[in-house]
């Protein structure tokens, strides 16, 4: 998922799952003060701490697909493609990419889309978005309903239940 940085509302209504020809659909998430995960505090024996997200931001509704990556970069680095996945690999999330690879992708995407600016979310923005603003533990039932688990490959993006803010695959796919 990538973030659209400081843009006016340009959210398009895209019915169903994303199409490889669209710029990444992304809802706007509100600014917020929130305390980082209780689990982090338990693991580190430190109290959670408050993080302020000063501006509303856009974040991708889905993981970046192999089709989107191919359209921008001209090739597909993913291991799970063609004969290793069911159905259309263009609709599976891109994987087997490094942080540096993603930076090149974002640079190319920004060059192609002059109306928006994209970047990776910060760790805090990602957690805030993935948890949909909540700070409680996530139940196993919710994980099973929302995440791709128990498989040896990826699944098409957006096939599991979204979180409360309509973001897909935040608990698991890639």
Domain with 105 in it: what CATH number?
A: 3.90.1580.10
User: 169 in a domain, yes or no?
Assistant: no
Which residues have a Cβ under 8 Å from the Cβ of 160 and sit 6 or more positions away?
145, 146, 147, 148, 168, 169, 173
The verdict on residue 162 lying in a domain is no
Please say if the pLDDT value at position 88 is more than 90.
no
Write down the pLDDT at residue 13: 30
Report if residue 90 sits inside a domain.
yes
Indicate whether 157 belongs to any domain: no
Q: Is 104 left (phi over 0), alpha (psi -120 to 50) or beta?
A: alpha
Q: Is 148 in contact with 154 (CB distance < 8 Å)?
A: yes
pLDDT of residue 64: 93
Residue 152, domain member (yes or no):
no
pLDDT exceeds cutoff 60 at 130: yes
Range of 90's domain?
3-146
Confirm whether 139 is domain-assigned.
yes
pLDDT tens digit sequence for 32-69:
655 554 555 556 555 566 778 888 889 999 999 989 99
Residue 79 binned pLDDT confidence (cut-offs 50, 70, 90): confident
The pLDDT, as a whole number, for residue 2 is 58
Cα distance between residue 67 and residue 91, in whole Å: 6
What is the chain's mean pLDDT, rounded? 73
Single pTM value for the model:
0.68
**pLDDT value of position 62:** 92
Q: Is residue 163 part of a domain?
A: no
| Residue 56 to residue 119: CA distance in whole angstroms | 14
Question: How many angstroms from the chain centroid is the CA of residue 45?
Answer: 29
Whole-number Cα distances in Å, 90 to 123, 164, 173: 27, 26, 15
- Specify if 121 maps to a domain: yes
**Side-chain half-sphere exposure of 57, counting CA atoms within 13 A:** 23
Q: How many CB atoms lie within 10 A of CB 120?
A: 15
Determine the average pLDDT of the residues in 83-99.
80
Residues 71, 81: Cα–Cα separation, whole Å: 15
pLDDT at 43: 62
Work out how many domains the chain is built from and give that number: 1
Sign of torsion over alpha carbons 6, 64, 78, 155: positive
């Amino acid at each position: 998922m990538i973030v659209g940085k400081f843009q006016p509302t340009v959210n398009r209504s895209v019915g169903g799952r994303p199409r490889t020809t669209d710029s990444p659909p992304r809802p706007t998430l509100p600014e917020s003060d929130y305390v980082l995960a209780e689990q982090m505090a338990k693991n580190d024996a430190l109290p959670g701490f408050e993080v302020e997200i000063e501006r509303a931001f856009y974040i991708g509704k889905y993981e970046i697909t192999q089709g989107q990556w191919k359209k921008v970069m001209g090739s597909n680095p993913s291991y799970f493609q063609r004969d290793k996945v069911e159905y259309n690999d263009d609709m599976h999330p891109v994987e087997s990419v490094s942080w540096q690879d993603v930076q090149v992708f974002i640079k190319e995407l920004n060059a192609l889309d002059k109306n928006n600016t994209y970047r990776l979310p910060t760790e805090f923005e990602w957690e805030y978005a993935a948890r949909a603003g909540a700070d409680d533990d996530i139940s196993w039932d919710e994980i099973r309903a929302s995440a791709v688990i128990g498989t040896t490959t990826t699944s098409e993006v957006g096939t599991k239940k979204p979180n409360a803010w309509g973001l897909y695959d935040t608990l698991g796919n890639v």
